């Protein structure tokens, strides 16, 4: 078996490694060339530091890697480890992880992160062998929601660019990789204040519009209630986007986030459960 960086492969080889690697997976992730390139750029993944495993010149496994400064620490993200069905259970995953950890150490990574489907016990066990620990339970939620609110309620909503979130003193930078502002520069953000000009929460989201020009879906990447915010504020936050019934998709919300419990109690269903895992270097 031979391991190359993604930058040493053709686009067709990288895409084949990805699509075969996630064939028959818990959540199948089949991509087109355009989707593959968009994900590579949009989520800050490195072609020079992502790797592809080859057997007899056939791409049979892949690990996509990204790197950022988060809370002042160099942080990596394993954005997908996949192995072709015919090569699973033959040591490819272990070889890919050994090379990935070596890359992290050469790059002086301080915290390595990844997410794994909760039911994928084999992958979770492998990551634990390489020093990862489970740090959070994450949920994908989906369902219809209508923001029914008292229009007389007084609060201020400021619409900002996702990039501006990073400059807010209340912004929580340590979130699942795909939920960060860096991965959602084409999205939208709002910050909410009470009458005393105290920040009570913020949203990072994207809207999907239908052919009639109405909002069809709100994809939530972050919904944070701050010290002065309350669960009862959530409908007010969402009403600043639309007060019509829409589909809500919440991406990788922490199970411990009060907003997660609120949405489940108000009709959203859990579609996928993941664990967030981290490996720390001292």
Tokens at residue 226, please? 């701050």
pLDDT tens digits along 210-226? 988 899 999 999 999 99
Q: Where are the domains of the chain?
A: 2-131, 141-276
Q: How is the beta sheet containing 2-5 ordered, strand by strand?
A: 2-5, 51-55, 58-70, 73-83, 111-117, 269-280, 133-145, 246-254, 215-225, 199-209, 188-193, 156-160
Q: What is the pLDDT of residues 111-161, one digit of tens each?
A: 999 999 999 999 999 999 999 999 999 999 999 999 888 776 778 999 999
pLDDT at 28: 65
**141-276 shares the fold of 2-131:** yes
pLDDT at 271 over 70: yes
pLDDT at 41: 94
Beta-bridge mates of residue 274: 117, 138
Q: What is the pLDDT of residue 63?
A: 97
Right CATH for 2-131 from 3.30.830.10, 3.40.190.290, 3.20.20.80, 3.40.630.30: 3.40.630.30
Residues 250/223, Cβ–Cβ less than 8 Å: yes
DSSP state of 8: G
CA-to-CA distance for 266 and 151, rounded, in angstroms? 20
What CA–CA distance (Å, rounded) separates 229 from 223?
A: 11
Q: Does domain 141-276 have CATH number 1.20.120?
A: no
């Amino acid at each position: 078996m031979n391991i190359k960086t993604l930058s040493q492969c053709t686009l067709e080889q990288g895409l084949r490694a990805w699509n075969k690697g996630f064939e028959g997976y818990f959540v199948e992730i089949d991509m087109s060339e355009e989707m593959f390139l968009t994900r590579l750029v949009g989520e800050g993944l490195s072609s020079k530091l992502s790797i592809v495993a080859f057997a007899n010149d056939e791409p049979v496994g892949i690990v996509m890697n990204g790197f950022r400064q988060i809370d002042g620490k160099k942080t990596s993200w394993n954005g997908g480890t996949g192995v072709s069905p015919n090569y699973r259970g033959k040591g490819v995953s272990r070889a890919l992880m050994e090379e990935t950890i070596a890359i992290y150490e050469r790059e002086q990574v301080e915290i390595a992160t990844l997410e794994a489907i909760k039911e994928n016990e084999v992958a979770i066990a492998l990551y634990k062998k390489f020093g990862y620990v489970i740090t959070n339970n994450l949920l994908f939620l989906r369902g219809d929601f209508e923001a029914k609110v008292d229009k007389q309620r007084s609060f201020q909503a400021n619409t900002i660019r996702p990039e501006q979130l990073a400059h807010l003193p209340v912004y929580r930078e340590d979130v699942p990789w795909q939920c960060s502002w860096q991965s959602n520069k084409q999205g939208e953000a709002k910050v909410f204040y009470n009458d005393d000009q105290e920040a009570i929460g913020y949203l990072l989201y994207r809207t999907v519009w239908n052919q009639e020009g109405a909002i069809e879906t709100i994809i939530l990447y972050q919904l944070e209630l701050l010290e002065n915010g309350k669960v009862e504020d959530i409908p007010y936050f969402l009403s600043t986007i639309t007060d019509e019934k829409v589909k809500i998709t919440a991406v990788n919300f922490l199970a411990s986030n009060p907003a997660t419990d609120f949405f489940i109690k108000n009709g959203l269903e859990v579609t996928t459960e993941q664990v967030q895992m981290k490996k720390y270097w001292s």
